[in-house]
Amino acid sequence: MRKFIVLVQKAPPGFQLTVHALHKCEIGQSWEAFGHYTADATGAVNVSEDPSLGGTYSGVEQMGLLWSLRPVPGSKPGLRLRKVNVQTPMEVTISVYQGHQTEGFMDQVPLASVVVERWFIAPGVRRIPITEDGLTATLFLPPGPGPFPGLLDLWGGSGKLVEYRSALMASHGIASLVLDYITPKITMETGRMVDLQYFETAYKVLEQHPQVLSSRIGMLGLSMGASMTLKMAVYSQVIKLRCAVSFGGSHVQPVEGSVEQINSDRIRVTEENEVIYRDLSLPIPSDPSLKVDVGRLKCPLLLVLGDDDQNTPAYESAMDMKEMMERAGNNHLLTILLYPNAGHMIEPPYMPYARGGTYRTLDTHERVKVLWGGETVAHSRAQEDAWKKTLVFLRENLFGSTNPGAP
């Protein structure tokens, strides 16, 4: 996603002003971010070069008006900003107000305003809903005839089709199929969670598509999606991956279990009534039946994690996976990206940081508040860096001509 330039001109030299961003998301919630600036001798402020003296971010932060977006005062707690319809832009109103303001923006008339459009899908990318074979999925194909390398994209335990990451992947030349495996139509109709064959069916849709290179398919998952990615990469006889990416995932899960068995009832709760799930898998078990045997992995694996992940013991899991792979002699396939003070939900760049959110448990379907962890600035930096390095990893392994699994 490209950075934007916010330039304020024709203000009096030394003028104190507030640059404010406002976004009304698709479910009607308003989000805002703002920085305090002082105009230079020419009466200008360049957000890309000049430091914010306060607000929702400080210092020189070109994209601070996006990554520090937060619900406006009075909003209900636990909100998370997600783009629902990727075929329309995310519209952000950038306004300039006199003085260093911190509240009451809606009651004031701005000195100037402009609407910025942020697109998650490049021109020419095709969005194709997939409902065949009981799947609930969406395929995004890059512009042109192809064939393209493919990617199976899995989000976490919140369910629904979250399409913006796959749309971005297709914008970078990768045919990406995002799969709903928590709340697909088949589960809604039968009340039963999907089995592992469901993921293999999605893989086959990619593999057999005429515009996808069948021998160049990867898998990327976040949270529970990462756990499923690890499991399928090691044990599936159908899914043959060129590479795998895990965001905030763990290999600790019953090897013979199904999707709903990854969760547990043993939880810790904060004073704010937020559920912490990370302790459920600690200490990392030594019993091989309770974790994926990554020593059998035959494709390159990228682990992306924050060291303040409160949802998954991602760091401890990564260290155990590293040890397992060293013992098995396949550790040359492993790359670990560890981000200090980053939390669980590492998203595409400039998406607003969320310390926690709400989640519906798979067994009782009870809605609970969960703590994801992290710190705003560090987490936002992690998202930007991880996105760049993930794209490099995917390009090297999905577009490269050599066998990525070779020593």
User: Is the N-terminal amide bond of 283 cis, ω within 30° of 0?
Assistant: yes
Q: Is 309 a catalytic residue?
A: yes
CA angle at residue 128 from 183 to 235, to 5 degrees?
55
CB 36 within 8 A of CB 65: no
CA angle at residue 301 from 304 to 326, to 5 degrees?
105
**Rounded Cα–Cα distance for residues 221 and 155 (Å):** 6
Nearby residues of 187 by Cβ (< 8 Å), 6 or more positions away? 193, 194
**Rounded Cα–Cα distance for residues 168 and 240 (Å):** 23
Q: Is 100 a catalytic residue?
A: no
**Rounded Cα–Cα distance for residues 108 and 115 (Å):** 17
Return the number of other C-beta atoms located less than 10 Å from residue 22's C-beta: 22
Inter-axis angle of helices 224-235 and 196-208, nearest 10: 80
Give me the catalytic one of 68, 223, 227, 317. 223
Give me the catalytic one of 309, 320, 379, 380. 309
**Rounded Cα–Cα distance for residues 198 and 133 (Å):** 9
Q: Which residues are catalytic?
A: 223, 309, 344
